[in-house]
Amino acid sequence: MRLEALGQVIDSVQNTKVATWYNGIDSMVLAIQRQPAPTPLRWWTTFSAFCPPFAKRFPNPSIWKRFTDSSIAIRDSVDDVKFTLYLTLALVVM
C-alpha cells in the first residue's frame, strides 16, 4: 500500500528551523491526520496494517511510537456502554 492510497502526501515541512527529539534521541515526527469521513476505529485498523511494511523502509534501528490514538478512548467508551447495558438488563430481570 502506498501513502497516496491513504490520503494527500506532501513532501515538505512547515518549518525548516525545528528539530525533534524523543527521550534524548534525534527523531522524526510523522503526523498523520485522518479526514472526518471514516470512523476512527476502521481508520486505525487500516493504518496499523500499513505501518510494518512502511517501517521497513526506514534505516535501522527505527522505533515507531504512537503519541495519540483516539480509537483507544472510543473502544473504552463502547465497552463501558456495553457493561452498563448488561448491568441494567441484569438488574431489570432480577
The pLDDT tens digits of the residues spanning 36-83 come to 666 777 777 777 777 777 777 777 666 677 777 777 888 899 899 999
pTM over 0.85: no
Distance (Å, rounded) from C-alpha 34 to C-alpha 68? 12
Q: In this structure, are residues 44 and 38 in contact, taking their beta carbons and an 8 Å threshold? A: no
With cut-offs at 50, 70 and 90, classify the pLDDT of residue 2: confident
Going by pLDDT thresholds of 50, 70 and 90, the confidence category of residue 90 is very high
Rounded Cα–Cα distance for residues 18 and 31 (Å): 15
25-50 core/surface letters (b: 16 or more CB in 10 A; e: else): eeeeeeeeebeeeeebeebbeebeeb
Q: Which is higher by pLDDT, 15 or 78?
A: 78
Euclidean distance between CA atoms 41 and 74, whole angstroms: 8
Query: Which pLDDT belongs to residue 13?
Result: 65
